[in-house]
Amino acid sequence: MSVIITGALLMSIKIVDNFLDKDGLTILDSPINQLMVWIRVPWMNQLMLLVSTTASWQMILWGTWLGSILLAAAKKWRYLTAMLLSNATAVIFIQLAKMITGRERPPVEMAVITEHGFAFPSGHSYLAVVFYGLLTYFWVKHLKLKWEKILMLGIGIVFVMMLGFSRIYLGVHWTTDVLAGLSISLTWLGVIITYLEYKNRYLVTEYQSFNRKMVWRGFWLFLGFWLLGLGWRYYKSGRILGVNMRKPITTEVIAMIRTAPAARSRGSAVAW
Which residue numbers are catalytic? 124, 173
Phi, psi dihedral angles at 243 (to 5 degrees): -135, 160
Q: How far apart are CA 208 and CA 62, in angstroms?
A: 25
Do 86 and 192 touch, CB atoms closer than 8 A?
yes
Other beta carbons less than 10 A from residue 84's beta carbon: 14
What is the per-residue DSSP string for 99-141?
HHH-PPPSPGGG-SS---S--SS-HHHHHIIIIIIHHHHHHHH
Neighbours of 241 (CB within 10 A): 16
Query: How many whole angstroms separate alpha carbon 124 and alpha carbon 169?
Result: 13
The residue count for the chain: 272
Neighbours of 102 (CB within 10 A): 9
